[in-house]
Structure 1
Amino acid sequence: MSRTLLAPVTLAFAALLTLMLSGCASQPASSPEKIRKALNAQAGQPDDYILGPTDVVQVSVWRNPDLSVSVPVRPDGRISVPLVGDVQASGERPEALAASIEDDLEQYIREPQVSVVVTGMGSHEFTDRVRVTGAVQQPTSVAHREGMTVLDMVLSSGGATSFAALNDAMLYRPLDGEVVAIPVKLDDILNKGDIETNYALQPGDILTVPERSF
């Protein structure tokens, strides 16, 4: 993948990560209301996928294989489709993009039926990850998978170090343009079997485990 294509995604991710990590070591827990809202927010479903630069889509036109193409979303946010030309794709859902192409094709073919399938999710390479940092054996960044929990991330990092302040861990979650700090009781999860704060993870979450103060 070219540096030109990666640049917009990398810069956007860097800005998000800087925002989330700034002050993580000392940021207090968010208000109970914000924490409840963050925990109750549902992660985006596949139908809610928003296209962005470096994504690859398969555009299929029923009974018109010559018009069906697999194309990347360019850095300017557009794709090129036979007959239609350039179409805005970035910021659109696949079904909305399909409807837009159908509208444009109506002047060329009768009752076009278009489907758009995302075959490459390059624009979400960084934002759809989860991370654990701080007093763990191996700080880790992995692709988000449905059903992942706080405990899964700690185990995938090799566990906490002997200097970890386990019950002072924080889960940082982006929500509505801000970052919500959610307390996580890792000692209770790991050593007491209390899984109340073993939260399900969402794309973009960062779990931070601080060291004890001596």
Structure 2
Amino acid sequence: MVRNMRDMRKRGGGWWVAVAGLLLAAAGPAAAQEAYQLGQGDLLEIGVWHEAEMQKQVVVRPDGKVSFPLVGDMVAAGKTVAELKGMIEKALAVYIPDAVANVAVVNTVSMQASVEGRVNRPGRYPITGTTTFLEVMALAGGPTPFGCERKVQVRHAGSWQTVNYRRLAKGEGEDFALTRGDLIYVP
């Protein structure tokens, strides 16, 4: 290790490139979380910088709102983490000038897709922004022997489409990422 650091110094102190790379890699998930759209049931950790008594875990209620001290009820469902953070900071500015809020998603209950019909394990499955149709079908155990693999119905992004599961499973088509609330039905 010491030898490597000496070598790095001899080459011009390139160690800072490694540190910068680590910082950028760590920023990736944070940036993705800032853009995450909140939904009912999501568990959030909300805090205010230098205000220890204003650290609270809240759940996005069925009405889409969260409650926070001094702010009261705010609509969170449908907002991104960054938007909710900005709303909280703006509402707190009356009481705490230059307030810096932090909003972190602890649990994403609202990010689920449903699989119904003739599958081995029908139900709701948690998804992320990159979870694909084939991954969710695998979680559901795939179609039963009586399921129609060629005419799977998928409600994706608000519209219905027919997907040939058999072709996709063989790699003869392009798999696609699912979004919150998508429904897969195997007839």
1:127-206 equivalences in 2 (<5 Å): 128-131=112-115, 133-134=117-118, 136=119, 138-141=120-123, 142-144=125-127, 146-150=130-134, 153=137, 156-157=140-141, 160-161=144-145, 163=146, 165-166=148-149, 168-175=150-157, 177-182=158-163, 184=164, 186=166, 188=167, 194-197=170-173, 199-203=175-179, 204-206=182-184
**C-alpha distance in 1 between matches for 2:83 and 2:131:** 28
**C-alpha distance in 2 between matches for 1:47 and 1:73:** 16
- Rg larger in structure: 2
Bigger RCO (CA 8 Å, 6+ sep) = 1
Cα deviations across residues 73-102 of structure 1 (Å, max 9, x unaligned)? 233332222222222222211111110110
**C-alpha distance in 2 between matches for 1:53 and 1:151:** 24
Number of residue pairs matched by the alignment: 152
| Structure 2 stretches lacking a partner, 5+ long | 1-31
CA contact (8 A) 1:172 1:207 kept: yes
Q: Percent identity?
A: 25
What amino acid sits opposite 1:195 in the alignment? G
C-alpha deviation, 1:185, in angstroms? 5.5
Provide the TM-score with structure 1 as the length reference: 0.57
Match of 1:106 in 2: 93
Runs of 4+ more than 6 Å apart:
none
CA contact (8 A) 1:132 1:153 kept: no
What is the Cα-based RMSD across aligned positions, in Å?
Answer: 3.0
Closer/same/farther in 2, CA of residues 143 and 72 from structure 1, 3 Å limit: closer
| Structure 1 stretches lacking a partner, 5+ long | 1-44
**C-alpha distance in 2 between matches for 1:85 and 1:165:** 50
Provide the TM-score with structure 2 as the length reference: 0.64
